[in-house]
Chains A and B, each alone.
Chain A
Amino acid sequence: MKRAIAGSLESNDVLITVKESDSLNITVKSIVYDFFHREIEKVIRDTLAELGVDKIDVTCEDKGALDYTIKARLTVAVQRMEEQQ
């Protein structure tokens, strides 16, 4: 099974792990979960839509990342997974 990661657990960053899947599953863990988990999940869904991906497992470990960082890390994780043989 293809799997890839991008990002880090440093402050203001996010660690995104993606895995091949036959459905869309998003798990969000965040230091600001109570306030922002819906917004974080929306960024993930919007980014996946832009990338044309509708079936994937995404685990997001957020350390206070802004939207552009979540989008960038998810984009790279998906690219890295697709580049695997």
Chain B
Amino acid sequence: MRRSLLFIPGNNPAMLQNSDVFGSDAVIYDLEDAVSVTEKDAARVLVSQFLATTDNMPMEIVVRINGLDTDYYLKDIEAVVSDKIDTIMLPKAQVEDLNKLDKLLSAVEKQKKIKKHIGVLPIIELTASVLQINEIVRCPRVNGVLLGAEDLSSDLEVARTRQGNEILLPRMQIAYACAAHKIDAIDTPFTDTNDMDALKEDCKFVCNLGMNAKAAIHPNQIPTINSVFVPSDKLINWALRVEEAARRAAEKGLGVFSLDGKMVDKPVIMRAEKILEKARKYHLTDEEGGSL
């Protein structure tokens, strides 16, 4: 369960060593687009050495490797896969790539005697990948899906717009596929790092579509993203009342009951439980689990 994932350029020591202070739920150390072709080796070694110095980072550690259509990905995997990372992000992911990556990671995990099972976050940035989303979410290790709108628009040969009509279909497909498999649907970064109002509107829009997190390309985007991808106080209070009413109903042996004149049954109770799970994870309730 994530709200925000912050891209950190892999060849920038100042950003790497401060990456735990920005408040994102995950950081993505980037060996791909943020690194020039001539610096791929330097970024790979820098991230690897940085990871070796880290201990108990307070957020999920993701590394974006180069695509499986490049000459770099094998060296990336060899350098960065360790107990220090949680997830590998795969650009331009397709089903065939994800199956190949699973086998590679299994081999490296065994060779390095890594205790954890490293997850995979595919980026949907090819039109072919959009058509495979239902299969991609079922691939081994996949624990979320990120929409990469810039490359996807380029592949579709359409312009990116602020309104985002050109990416409405993949956003909805990702939201549904991820919800069905209970993994994170992560929206594309908002590229204007100075317009917080527009970022907030974009977050609210995709949140209402069913996406539950957003990638960020600048630390100043994190507070806005984190504030949107959590339940509102009003929703938390409603969920708490449903939880309490459900507990009383269960004591009476009732599966269906009424709250504020509206029927409450299992789907409503499950929605309330999901709201409270997220609220409690992000400490939006008091110590007893009630609303702050």
Enumerate chain A interface residues (CB-CB to B < 8 A).
6-7, 10-13, 65-69, 71-73, 75-76, 79-80
Contact = CB atoms under 8 A, between A and B. Distances in A.
Determine the main DSSP class of B at the interface with A: helix
B45 A66 contact: no
B14 A72 contact: no
Nearest to B48: A72
B17 A72 contact: no
Interface residues on B, range: 10 to 19
Interface in B36-73: 41-42, 45-46, 48-50, 52-53
B223 interface: no
A80 B17 CA distance: 25
A6 B13 CA distance: 13
Contact of A6 (B14, B42, B50): B42
B17 A66 contact: yes
Interface of B: 12-14, 17, 41-42, 45-46, 48-50, 52-53
A12 B46 contact: no
Contacts of B42: 6-7, 72-73, 76
Contacts of B53: 66-68
Query: Looking at chain A's contact residues, is the secondary structure mostly helix, strand, loop, or mixed?
Result: helix
A6 B45 CA distance: 11
A11 B45 CA distance: 18
B17 to A, nearest CB: 6
Contacts of A76: 41-42, 45
Nearest to A74: B45
B155 to A, nearest CB: 33
